[in-house]
Structure 1
């Protein structure tokens, strides 16, 4: 099967605004996890988050859009603008474009403000934009409106796996004849209402020290830290962008998904096998695995088991850049895709946040502490969503 060429990227993450800032911080192992600053979390049992610093919506969007959108949608629109500009797309190119995005939470901050207005001041003080600004599908709609696209639009809800599902669907659309697909995932649940929704998950980290709170595959792993942000990508068929000479970051060549509510790793292994088969690749063709990195003993063991069974113990480098940002839910997989593409470009694998060494019991070759020089040309990206969602993508360098 043919792949889809990636010609534009837009990243917003706790470690940087824009692709270059994100990648420089990620390569250096900078930590975007800190005490929650968007509200007073004093006394909360999980006081940390991966928060985006320095994003000014007014610098990127007109006031009319700011009034009707949640922070997550403002992120998505800004990132889309960057990706579309990098791909060199014209209004004519965008007219027929498709949209394939993912979200897990929706506009929680906007929704909380409107509910507060309802109870404190009454229904006349609730904005009409509340009818859609809170909805998990709103990013796709607003991206379409802002870019005047008229192609099909779809939204995937698979928690952490959803972002890869959206890109996998974009791959299928390109294979079916789509000329341009805008895809990815973006999240922001950093309000009291949003953060409270995480507290029912037993896997959230209660550790108050930022450098100890999210240590996937470590013997000291104690859970995940929720974060905000994500990435938007432009996918096109190989022939389409030749007249524009855009950046050619790499290709999405395979996608697989599986559902398994168990914690054995079988669902993740099956998704990976399906992605490899779709890409017509064998395990020995993969040069690195960008891991889901759940951050608990059970989740990490299940993923490490799946990787070791598929590739062999210590047979392939395992990368976990989200250890520096927190888990970004539907945005996490797309950001890992960006990291893999930039690893192709620069010949380096980024470290896993503050993880100094993997637990030897896992049998994986985790990239820790320092970036690792690398000459790989293919990568497998993995993601799992709460409840049993498992997804995988195969990426290859643009010249392969």
Structure 2
């Protein structure tokens, strides 16, 4: 029999809050958590609005040695992983190390750490960098540090596909479970907020330069002007269903289908024709087929929602290609938090699973006025799920497309909720 991969733990560390409950409150309340950048002085940059994790104390989740050796991005990963393990009812140290794996997504690595060390190298009198510069910035640093600390000695890996990577990590975790590893940690965190990291993102031409936080990031909206960057994300415990039931674990939902495609062309900010929905639509359609689900069964779509007009129109075209004349409910919380790259798509997974847990599909945080070509069935009011099937889509810079299908567990009884 093929093992079934379910999610039994959710750890959120994001602008929406620390912990799954805080994130869910933000989504339900529609509270916008973006604001002026505070992690460094962004006064000289055209983009000065971002989503930051307010009040985050890394010392509560890692010891001094770990903090010295790692970047804020990894600190967020330490926190999200500890929260996910606690939520799943699993110990801090793996009781069966080779039965626990870890696969996270990462795009840019330890930006703040690398910024500080390179400034010391080129601007300091000593012209030196710290010993940990060689590892703290590296995109695999979080997986390495977490596997050491928690004794995850099963299959480990890092996926790099920009925003698509957050969904890819869940897909890879499900495959690893099916190949015999009972527990896999998956998801992603991000911290793209440093002078160099922001400069790199600005080169894409996709960031919003609007300075009013309430107007800066408006996916699918007639006033859309690009996205605002964000840090944080979500980490999950993905587990073999039999293993989860044997220990009496709570199940949020099952990973039933996934797919990834590539556009085979570079992202070109100056070429509107470079945005083609064909392969994105193929990924969405293939994920549904692999899940054994039909478009009619989908309760809600959580889209990529990049906030760049031509990309939003292409995503709307992809959804129409998959769902035809049947308008599918669409909901996004990204305007509340900013776009955290691979951490943002992982955060969408948390939103979908929590929606099924609370038996409520949340209202979409926009658009206020849909742009031409983006007239989708955006959820304007919360509603109860019908089939408990969610389709999530994400696209990464330079052509990555990923899709994931989740089937929510039955809603808990009132006393359990």
What is the alpha-carbon distance in structure 1 between the residues aligned to residue 308 and residue 4 of structure 2?
34
Counterpart among 362, 381, 397 of residue 350 in structure 1? 362
What is the CA-CA distance between 1:356 and the residue it aligns to? Answer: 2.1
**5+ residue gaps, structure 1:** none
Match of 2:64 in 1: 63
- Separation in structure 2 between the aligned mates of residue 271 and residue 2 of structure 1, nearest angstrom: 23
**Cα gap change, 1:351 to 1:195, in 2 (>3 Å):** farther
Q: Over residues 186-217 of structure 1, what are the superposed CA-to-partner deviations in whole Å (9 max), with x where a residue is unaligned? A: 10011112212111111110111111111101
Match for residue 269 of structure 2? Answer: none
Aligned mates of 1:287, 1:352 — CA distance in 2 = 14
Would the aligned equivalents of 2:155 and 2:176 in 1 still touch at CA under 8 Å? Answer: no
What is the CA RMSD across the aligned residues, in angstroms?
1.7
Give the Cα separation in 1 of the matches to 2:109 and 2:384.
38
Task: Within 5 Å, give how 1:316-355 maps onto structure 2.
Answer: 316-353=328-365, 355=367
- Alignment length, in residue pairs? 399
Aligned counterpart, 2:284: 272
Q: Structure 1 residue 37: deviation in Å? A: 1.1
1:1-400 aligned within 5 A: 3-90=4-91, 91-121=94-124, 125-260=128-263, 261=265, 262-313=274-325, 315-353=327-365, 355-359=367-371, 361-368=373-380, 370-399=381-410
Q: State the alpha-carbon separation in 2 of the partners of residues 337 and 363 from structure 1.
A: 24
Q: Which moved more, 1:164-173 or 1:357-366?
A: 357-366
**1:132-183 CA-partner distances (Å, limit 9, x unpaired):** 1001111111110110111121111100001111111111111111111001
**Deviation for aligned residue 1:15:** 1.4
Supply the distance in 2 between the matched residues of 1:135 and 1:343 (Cα, whole angstroms): 34
TM-superposed CA distance for 1:93, in Å, is 4.0
List per-residue Cα deviations over 1:60-79 (Å, max 9, x = no partner): 21111110110000000111
Q: Unaligned 5+ residue runs, structure 2?
A: 266-273, 412-417
Q: Aligned-pair distance for 1:124?
A: 7.2
Distance in 1 separating the partners of 2:180 and 2:260? 22
2:9·2:88 contact (CA, 8 Å) conserved in 1? yes
Q: Calculate the TM-score normalised by the size of structure 2.
A: 0.92
Q: Which residue does 2:415 correspond to in 1?
A: none
Equivalent-residue separation in structure 2 for 1:252 and 1:239 (angstroms):
14
Once residues 396 and 125 of structure 2 are traced to their aligned partners in structure 1, the CA distance between those partners, rounded to angstroms, is 37
Report the 3-state secondary structure (helix = DSSP H, G, I; strand = E; otherwise coil) of the residue aligned with 2:95. Answer: helix
The separation in 2 between residues aligned to 1:344 and 1:358, in whole angstroms, is: 27
Distance, in Å, in 2 between the alignment partners of 1:371 and 1:398 is 19
